[in-house]
C-alpha cells in the first residue's frame, strides 16, 4: 500500500473524483456533461496506466527497436473502445441538453421541473 509508487493510479482516481464532484454538485446541465466526461477520462487513464511495463515501448513491430520490452496491448484496445463509447454518450447527452434548452430556455437544473429530484 503506497501512494508514491502508485502515483499514476492515484492521479487517475483523483480525476474520477473530480468528475464525480462536478456531476453531483454543479447545477448546470453542460457542467454535468463535463463531469461525466471527466469521469470517463479518469477511467480511460486508469485503464491505460494498467498496461504500462517499466521501460516499455508501443506494441507495434513496424520499425520497433530490436529487443525492447513492449507494453501490454489489451488495455490500449480497451481504452480505445471506451473512448468511442464516451464520445457516443457525450453526444447524446449534449443533444438532450440542447432539447431541454429549447423547451425551457435555461440550463439550470433548479429551474427544470423533473431534474430537481
Partner 1 sequence: MSKEMSVIVRTITRLTYVLTIVFGFYVIMHGHLTPGGGFQGGAVVASAFALFLVAFGTAGLKGRLNAHLLQSLEEIGALTFLALAFLGIGTAFFYNLLANSGTVFGVSVLPGPNPGLLNSGGTLPLMNWAVGLKVMTGIASILIAMLVGSRKEAAE
Partner 2 sequence: MNALATHVPILVIATPLLGAFAAPLIAKLGRTTRVAFSGLIAGLTACFAGLLAATLYSAGGQPIVYVLGGRVPLPSGLAVPVRIMLEVDGLSVFMALIAALVGALAVLYSVSYWKERSGGALYDSLLFLLIAGVFGLVLTGDMFNFFVFLEITSIAACGLIGFRAWRKRSSEAAFKVMALYTLAGLLVLLAVGLLYGQYGGLNMAFLAANLSGSMLDRIALALLLAGLAMKAGAVPMHMWAPEAYGEAPAPVAMVLVANSQAGLYALFRILFTLYGVALSVTAIGWILIVMAVLTILVGVTMALVQSDIKRLIAFGAVSQIGYMLLAVGVGFAVLATRPAFGLAAIQGGIFHMINDVACIGLLFLAAGAMVRAAGTRNLNAMGGLAHDLKGLTVLFAVGAFALAGVPPFNGFASKLIIYESTFRLSPVLAIVAVLGSIILLAVFLRAFQAAFLGPRTVGEAGRVPWTMTLSMAVLASIVIGFGLFPGFFIDKLVAPAANALWNGQAAYIGAVLGGG
Partner 3 sequence: MKRALLAVAFLLVASFLLLAAAEMRPFGAPTSSVMDDYFLGQAQAEVAANNVVTAVVFDYRGFDTLGEATVLFAAVVGVLAVFRRLREDER
Residues at the contact surface with partner 2, assessed by CB under 8 A: 16, 23, 29, 32, 36, 39-40, 43, 46-47, 50, 74-75, 78, 81-82, 85, 88-89, 92-93, 96-97, 99-100, 103-104, 112-115, 117
Q: How far is the CB of 99 from partner 2 (least distance, A)?
A: 4
Q: Kindly state the helix (H) or strand (E) to which residue 17 belongs, with its residue range.
A: helix 7-25
Q: Which three cell numbers stand for residue 48?
A: 491505460
Residue 28 touches partner 3, criterion: CB under 8 A: no
Coil, strand or helix at 108: strand
Compute the distance between CA of residue 117 and CA of residue 109 in angstroms, rounded to an integer.
10
Spacing of C-alpha 65 from chain mean position? 32
Q: Which of 84, 86, 5, 80 is nearest to 47 (CA)?
A: 80
Q: How far is the CB of 13 from partner 1 (least distance, A)?
A: 26
Compute the distance between CA of residue 19 and CA of residue 5 in angstroms, rounded to an integer.
24
Residue 14 touches partner 1, criterion: CB under 8 A: no
Of 7 and 77, nearer to partner 1 (C-beta) is 77
Q: Which three cell numbers stand for residue 79?
A: 481504452
Residues forming the site for partner 3 (CB under 8 A): 1-3, 5-10, 12-14, 16-17, 20-21, 24-25, 49-54, 58-62, 70, 72-74, 76-78, 80-81, 84-85, 87-89, 91-92, 95-96, 99
Residues forming the site for partner 1 (CB under 8 A): 58, 60-66, 80, 84, 87, 91, 94-95, 98-99, 101-102
Amino acid at each position: 500500500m503506497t501512494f508514491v509508487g502508485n502515483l499514476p493510479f492515484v492521479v487517475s482516481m483523483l480525476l474520477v473524483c473530480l468528475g464525480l464532484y462536478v456531476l453531483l454538485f454543479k447545477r448546470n446541465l453542460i457542467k454535468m456533461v463535463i463531469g461525466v466526461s471527466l469521469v470517463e477520462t479518469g477511467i480511460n487513464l486508469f485503464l491505460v496506466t494498467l498496461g504500462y511495463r517499466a521501460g516499455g515501448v508501443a506494441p507495434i513491430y513496424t520499425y520497433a527497436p530490436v529487443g525492447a520490452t513492449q507494453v501490454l496491448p489489451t488495455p490500449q484496445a480497451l481504452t480505445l473502445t471506451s473512448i468511442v463509447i464516451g464520445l457516443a454518450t457525450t453526444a447524446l447527452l449534449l443533444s438532450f441538453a440542447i432539447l431541454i434548452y429549447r423547451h425551457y430556455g435555461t440550463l439550470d437544473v433548479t429551474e427544470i421541473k423533473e431534474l430537481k429530484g
